[in-house]
Amino acid sequence: MTLATLLLLAAALIGIGFYGALSQQSFVMLMMGLELILNGVMLAAVAFWALSGAGAPEGQLLTIVVMAVMAIEMAMGFALVVAVFRTKQADVTEGITGLKH
């Protein structure tokens, strides 16, 4: 695959992720959109590393950092979703309007 093809795929993942994160009301779908955004960024970093970086370790390190951020984000996000569901019995973003104040 060429660099342009991989970057196009990464841009598609980021675009779908933004659409999913901004258009959905469900917490789970919102988090899935955020994960797609991070996957697109990670794919772009790996593509740049593999096809134009001549094997520099910075691309691998960035990918490992993004994977760690994804794991932490999912763990914290689902912990917050469970906490909000237990207190407010809300599974969509509009159900937690009381947290604005």
Q: How many domains does the chain have?
A: 1
- Token couple for 56: 């520099």
Using DSSP's 3-state secondary structure scheme, residue 26 falls into: strand
pLDDT in tens, 51-88: 876 666 776 787 888 889 888 988 888 888 888 778 77
Q: What is the pLDDT of residue 13?
A: 95
Q: List helix spans (H) across 1-101.
A: 3-23, 27-52, 57-88
Q: Which structural domain range is residue 96 located in? A: 3-100
Considering the chain, what is the average pLDDT of its residues? 82
What's the longest Cα–Cα distance across the chain? 52
CATH number for the domain spanning 10: value is 1.10.287.3510
Q: What is the pLDDT of residue 1?
A: 80
Is the pLDDT score of 42 beyond 90?
no
